[in-house]
């Protein structure tokens, strides 16, 4: 039996576009001699559809697409297609997260997801009823265990110490294995996390090794708002060896002989997982490209400050959208250093990006004059610093409104975590590109872009970070070294360690207390930021929900 994996990039709710994409892949599978073609989880509507699943018309549209696809394909080929299914029982949630087996012009069998994740970005039990019946797909003499994403992740490791080694009380594949399947097929929508690529692969190779069965894993690819799906679908033989991995961050297609996978005859491919920073860069580029493309946006802007964050954001955006679709502003004040302007100009020229220089000193002085009756002789402080940031935000949004250039937010995760940013100023934007990237990794991304020659000027990489909102300002005036800050933040946010356990890692108690207080106090700021492209296991946004008003 030959099985095709169709790794596609869907648009949520684009039923006609998704239908045509699916039919094209089925036609290709038929031409390449496939018996069965596998798509990803909820492929009919795209994942995650969120509260669109609460609309009856949305589910009805999904069902119409499934029916149309069934009627449109050749009778000999089988299709495994993900989509929501009405629960016709009088009890439980209204829907199942299902896989439809289509063959001979109709749906022949339905398989339903058992394990419904309700952690991090997932909230599937909000919509779906869990499966409680287990059976195999019998097709062309083979018995196939059909699983949906989490159904093979019952033993996944968690970074937090405050978690169980087994999240679920049911192991769906143990139940399916009682029927002696010939292979495991997994339809997934598994989002990207830059430190989990090897872990993710080990889950599938571990299942193959443990049960002595081939595993075929079809993952969604592309970005849906802040979520990025890397694809990387897998064909694994019965010895747990990766025979083929489909492409990362782009659509791909592969056909695999089940007998070769089961007998260990398939040739091993030299296809290692790329370097973490390379994966991070490609993931962010995918996130920008799909956010713009799926919303029919074309061009972008940002404030190019001469700092590392705006430089890396520009490099990523120019790669994603094309340099001709970028128009950036340099907005120096009287506190901006000359080299910041020179570095920014050189970067824009290196990338071939249009730029304009709009000094803000005169506007800033007008604000100070207007506010003088209120502020009088009070010393300048954060109020005046924030005015500069908000002037810049206003000018950038004026460019956005006039010409349709979507403003990209350039704040990194370290700054966002501790509130080192100005609401309605440098925290403005339609999309946050680096909001899930710690400062130390921003520098590594800059080095990645310079791997073949200088793109980001060297001076940007070596000068001390500064917001340049007052004379001789440095980030180190307010924050510890980023090498320490980032490790403390990662321990507290990603690993969710208690303050005491963070201190036990070797950090000063008063420093840890200060940083954690800043993280907790600035939740209200993060609540008002644009969508943040998620590349870690715990990003700010939909996967980290905390009360704004609390004293913890």
Residue 448 in this model has a pLDDT that exceeds 90: yes
Catalytically active residues are 41, 113, 149
Question: Residue ranges of the alpha helices (H) in 216-272?
Answer: 258-263
Report the length, in residues, of the chain.
Answer: 552
Share of the chain above pLDDT 90, in %: 88
Give 349-362 pLDDT, tens digit per residue.
999 999 999 999 99
Residue 490 in this model has a pLDDT that exceeds 90: yes
Residue 164 in this model has a pLDDT that exceeds 60: no
**Element spanning 413, H or E:** helix 413-418
Q: Are 262 and 238 in contact (CB under 8 A)?
A: yes
State the pLDDT at residue 465.
79
- Predicted confidence band at 476 (pLDDT cuts at 50, 70, 90)? confident
- Predicted confidence band at 50 (pLDDT cuts at 50, 70, 90)? very high
Reference 249, options 218, 227, 223, 224; nearest CA is: 223
State the pLDDT at residue 158.
60
- Cβ-Cβ contacts under 8 Å for 47 (sequence gap 6 or more): 10, 12, 40, 41, 82, 189, 220, 224, 229
Average pLDDT on 1-29 reads: 98
338-351 vs 308-321: helix axis angle to the nearest 10? 20
Give 54-82 pLDDT, tens digit per residue.
999 999 999 999 999 999 998 899 999 99
Q: Classify residue 231 by its DSSP letter.
A: B
Of 173-182, 193-202, 458-467, 520-529, which gets the smallest average pLDDT? 458-467
Average pLDDT on 454-482 reads: 84
Alpha carbon of 362 to those of 357, 365, 376, 379: distances in Å? 14, 5, 19, 20
C-alpha span between 539 and 535 (Å, rounded): 7
- Predicted confidence band at 278 (pLDDT cuts at 50, 70, 90)? very high
State the pLDDT at residue 341.
93
Residue 469 in this model has a pLDDT that exceeds 90: no
Would you state the torsion angle of the CA atoms of residues 122, 124, 130, 135, taken in this order, to the nearest 10 degrees? -70
Residue 163 in this model has a pLDDT that exceeds 90: no
Residue 96 in this model has a pLDDT that exceeds 60: yes
Residue of 547 and 249 predicted with greater confidence = 249
Question: Residue ranges of the alpha helices (H) in 237-381?
Answer: 258-263, 276-294, 308-321, 338-351, 361-375
- Predicted confidence band at 12 (pLDDT cuts at 50, 70, 90)? very high
- Predicted confidence band at 156 (pLDDT cuts at 50, 70, 90)? low
C-alpha span between 530 and 547 (Å, rounded): 18
Q: Are 102 and 79 in contact (CB under 8 A)?
A: yes
Give 191-200 pLDDT, tens digit per residue.
999 999 999 9
Residue 247 in this model has a pLDDT that exceeds 80: yes
State the pLDDT at residue 229.
98
Q: Are 306 and 410 in contact (CB under 8 A)?
A: no
Residue 450 in this model has a pLDDT that exceeds 60: yes
Share of the chain above pLDDT 70, in %: 97
State the pLDDT at residue 159.
61
C-alpha span between 549 and 527 (Å, rounded): 12
Q: Are 515 and 489 in contact (CB under 8 A)?
A: yes
- Predicted confidence band at 264 (pLDDT cuts at 50, 70, 90)? confident
Average pLDDT on 412-435 reads: 96
Residue 258 in this model has a pLDDT that exceeds 60: yes
Which residues make beta-bridge pairs with 158? none
Q: How many helices (H) does the chain have, and how many strands (E)?
A: 17, 19
State the pLDDT at residue 471.
81
- Predicted confidence band at 162 (pLDDT cuts at 50, 70, 90)? low
Residue 453 in this model has a pLDDT that exceeds 90: yes
C-alpha span between 39 and 272 (Å, rounded): 23
Residue 328 in this model has a pLDDT that exceeds 90: yes
């Amino acid at each position: 039996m030959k099985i095709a994996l169709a790794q596609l990039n869907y648009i949520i709710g684009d039923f006609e576009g998704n239908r045509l994409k699916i039919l094209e892949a089925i036609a290709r599978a038929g031409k390449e001699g496939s018996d069965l073609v596998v798509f990803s989880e909820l492929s009919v509507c795209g994942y995650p559809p969120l509260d669109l699943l609460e609309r009856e018309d949305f589910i009805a549209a999904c069902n119409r697409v499934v029916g149309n696809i069934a009627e449109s394909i050749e009778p000999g080929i089988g299709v495994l297609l993900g989509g929501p299914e009405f629960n016709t029982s009088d009890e439980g949630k209204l829907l199942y997260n299902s896989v439809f087996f289509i063959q001979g012009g109709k749906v022949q069998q339905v398989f339903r997801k058992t394990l419904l994740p309700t952690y991090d970005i997932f909230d599937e039990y909000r919509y779906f009823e869990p499966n409680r019946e287990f059976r195999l797909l019998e097709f062309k003499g083979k018995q196939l265990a059909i699983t949906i994403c989490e159904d093979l992740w019952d033993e996944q490791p968690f970074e937090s110490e405050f978690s169980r080694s087994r999240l679920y009380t049911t192991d769906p594949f143990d139940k399916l294995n009682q029927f002696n399947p010939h292979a495991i097929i997994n339809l997934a929508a598994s989002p990207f996390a830059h430190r989990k690529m090897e872990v993710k692969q080990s889950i599938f190779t571990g299942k193959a090794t443990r049960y002595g069965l081939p595993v075929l894993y079809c993952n969604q690819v592309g970005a849906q708002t802040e979520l990025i799906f890397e694809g990387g679908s897998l064909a694994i033989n019965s010895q747990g060896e990766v025979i083929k991995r489909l492409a990362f961050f782009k659509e791909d297609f592969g056909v695999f002989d089940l007998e070769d996978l089961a007998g260990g005859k398939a040739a091993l491919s030299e296809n290692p997982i790329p370097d973490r920073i390379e994966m991070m860069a490609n993931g962010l580029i995918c996130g920008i490209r799909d956010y713009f493309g799926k919303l029919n946006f074309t061009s972008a802007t940002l404030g190019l400050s001469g700092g590392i964050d705006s430089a890396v954001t520009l490099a990523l955006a120019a790669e994603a959208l094309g340099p001709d679709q970028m128009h950036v502003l340099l907005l120096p004040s009287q506190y901006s250093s000359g080299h910041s302007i020179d570095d920014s100009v050189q970067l824009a020229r290196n990338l071939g990006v249009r730029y304009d220089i709009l000094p803000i000193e005169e506007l800033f002085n007008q604000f100070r004059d207007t506010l003088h009756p209120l502020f009088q002789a009070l010393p300048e402080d954060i109020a005046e610093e924030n005015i500069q940031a908000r002037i810049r935000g206003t000018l950038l949004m004026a460019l956005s409104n006039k010409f349709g250039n979507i403003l990209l937010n350039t704040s990194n995760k370290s700054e966002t975590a501790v509130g080192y940013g100005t609401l309605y100023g440098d925290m403005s934007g339609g999309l946050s590109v680096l909001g899930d990237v710690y400062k130390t990794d921003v520098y590594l991304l800059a080095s990645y872009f310079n791997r073949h020659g200088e793109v980001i000027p060297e001076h940007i990489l070596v000068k001390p970070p500064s917001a340049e909102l007052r004379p001789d300002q440095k980030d180190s005036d307010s924050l510890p070294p980023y090498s320490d800050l980032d490790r403390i933040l990662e321990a507290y946010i990603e690993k969710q360690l208690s303050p005491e356990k963070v201190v036990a890692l070797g950090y000063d108690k008063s420093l840890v207390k200060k940083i954690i207080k800043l993280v907790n106090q600035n939740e209200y700021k993060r609540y008002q930021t644009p969508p943040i492209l998620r590349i870690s296991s715990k990003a700010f946004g939909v996967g980290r929900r905390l009360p704004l008003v609390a004293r913890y």
